[in-house]
Amino acid sequence: MTRTAAQPTVPTPAVAEPTDGAVDRALARLPRVVDLLAARAAEHDRDGTFPYQGIETVHEAGLLTLTVGHRHNGPGAGLADTVRVLARLGRGDASVALLTANTLLHHAEQARTAPWPAALYRRLLTESRRGPALVGTLRAPAGRPPAVTAHWQGGAWRLSGRAAHCPGAEALAWLVVEARTAEGQPRTGLFLVRADSPGLEIDPAADQLGLRAAAGHDVLLEDARIGTDAALLPKGPAPAADPVAAAWRQLALTAVLLGTARAALDWSAGRLRGTAALHRRPLGELDAALTGAEELVHALAARTDADPEAANRAPAVQLLAARTAADTVQRALTLTGSAGLDRRHPLERHLRDTLSLRTQLPAEDAVLDALGEALLTG
């Protein structure tokens, strides 16, 4: 099946407003945006349909381009503000929050290290002014080789392979594809691919447990031609992992997870309101634990903005916060009983979404092994 075109959008000046106060204005629009997302989240989850209206709402509020750098006339939001936004969006619709996070992370990285060539990034910004321009990443799971191979042919790179479970596949404007070159000494790098490129197709295979509105379909690349300016390949040995970039991703996605858990707890408390006093203490314990996890993530995000060295603490913080979020939802389900599993209510959706969101984060075993190794060799 060929790629489904995104629904037409009305041009809006998403990154054209002055940067002074732009973050505050965007944050002020958050409550209305969250309400609109929550109103249709169950419908999109049930039908597995893409939330075009929700993405449009996020875009119109200026939230989809919040991390565009000041030098590009963008708001230039830091990690702390990004985490605040994503935690709130997670309360409304975890799928929309995840798609927003993926796009914000690319703009933030461009503001920090400018990996995109200037001409291609200007094109992305132009598209972002016309409507939502989602950016997705196709990377191999940790420890596995890339699913896509890059061949040099006819003065250009040509990509072939199949990447599974790409969130937002049917509505992306750009894909950042990790691929391994078919050279004598293979290199692994990233390739910037327009989503409407010839040779790129979407296989509507998504039928996942959670984040169903994110439409995580498979992406098929068959001899897709990529210009040399769109290839981000290392010239020497592969560079070391950037802890700040990793912290941005880990804390951003953890914020979505915490927002989803907060929505689950709020619904459960409303459901149990007026019941026997025996529910007060368990709910209080859940609220205390979740509040602690939220404060931990928000505090580390602010510290990372001020001191990049703080990014090294992100793996431990995201692991603890993710555990707390998952435990909150599961224990809330225990308190509400069978009503929590009724598909007429949102709690079972929050449960499925938290399970799926945890797969977007580093595996616990890998995080714990790295932390233990650092202690033993430090």
Kindly provide the residue ranges of all beta strands, DSSP E only, lying in the chain, ordered along the sequence: 134-138, 148-153, 156-166, 172-181, 188-194, 200-203, 217-226, 231-232
pLDDT of residue 9: 41
pLDDT (tens digit per residue) in 210-242: 999 999 999 999 999 998 999 999 877 777 789
User: What is the model's pTM?
Assistant: 0.93
Q: Is it the case that residue 268 has pLDDT exceeding 50?
A: yes
| Ramachandran angles phi, psi of 149, nearest 5° | -115, 140
pLDDT tops 80 at residue 198: yes
Domain ranges of the chain: 22-132, 138-232, 243-377
Residue 357 scores a pLDDT above 70 = yes
Q: Give the mean pLDDT of the chain.
A: 92
- The b-or-e profile of 318-345 (16+ CB within 10 A means b, else e) is bbebbebbbbbbebbbebbeeebeeeeb
> How is 271-320 classified by DSSP, letter by letter?
HHTTS-GGGHHHHHHHHHHHHHHHHHHHHHHHHHHH-GGGGGGHHHHHHH
Please report, for residues 97, 113, 164, 186, the alpha-carbon distance to residue 256 in angstroms, rounded to integers and kept in the order given.
6, 24, 22, 36
Q: CATH topology for 138-232? A: Butyryl-CoA Dehydrogenase, subunit A; domain 2 (2.40.110)
Residue tagged 């603890």 (tokens):
320
pLDDT at 206: 81
What are the tens digits of pLDDT across the range 303-352? 999 999 999 999 999 999 999 999 999 999 999 999 999 999 999 999 99
Q: Which of the four CATH numbers 3.30.365.10, 3.30.1490.20, 1.10.540.10, 3.50.50.60 does domain 22-132 have?
A: 1.10.540.10
- Give residue 20's pLDDT: 58
Q: What is the mean pLDDT of residues 282-289?
A: 97
Express each pLDDT in 109-156 by its tens digit.
999 999 999 999 999 999 999 999 999 999 988 778 999 999 999 889
pLDDT single digits (tens) 59-117: 999 999 999 999 999 999 999 999 999 999 999 999 999 999 999 999 999 999 999 99
| pLDDT score of 118 | 96
How many alpha carbons lie under 13 Å from residue 305 in its C-beta half-sphere?
Answer: 16
Reported CATH class of domain 243-377: mainly alpha
